[in-house]
Structure 1
C-alpha cells in the first residue's frame, strides 16, 4: 500500500482547538471511519472497534506539549 500522510501545524485559539478535537471524537463515536479534508485532499480511514491510545504530556522550560495518538 502506498504511504499517505498529512501533517498540519497551525495556531488556533484554545476554543478552536477544542472544537477540532470534539469533531474528531464525534466521528470516532458515531461510525467506523475518520475523514480528514484539506483543500482538494480527502483522507478516509476505517477505524476498528479497538484502538491504541497514547497520551504524552511534557512540561519543559521552552513550552508545554500534549500529544494524543491513536493507532490501530
Structure 2
C-alpha cells in the first residue's frame, strides 16, 4: 500500500504535453530534486542517479494509452 499517491488528469494539447514532458526531462537531467506540477500545486521529489524505466503502449479499439513509469527505491 502506498504511503502517498497523488493523481491528476487533465486535457492538454499535443504541444502542451510535449512542453510538460520536456520540463520534466530537463529537471531530471539537471539535478536530484524534481518538481512535478499538479494543477495549482506541485510536489518536489528526490530522484537518484539510477532509476528503472518502464514504457507501455496499449491499444484498445479507439483508445491508445502511452505510459512512462520511472521507479526507484528510497533505501540504500
TM range (shorter): 0.7 to 0.9
After TM superposition, the score normalised by the length of structure 2 is: 0.81
Q: Distance in 2 between matches of 1:71 and 1:26?
A: 18
Runs of 4+ in 1 over 6 A off after TM superposition: none
Gaps of 5+ in 1: none
Question: Match of 1:58?
Answer: 58
Gaps of 5+ in 2: none
Question: Match of 1:22?
Answer: 22
Structure 1 residues 14 and 42 mapped into 2: Cα distance closer, same or farther (>3 Å)?
Answer: closer
Length, aligned pairs only: 70
After TM superposition, the score normalised by the length of structure 1 is: 0.86
Q: Distance in 1 between matches of 2:19 and 2:5?
A: 22
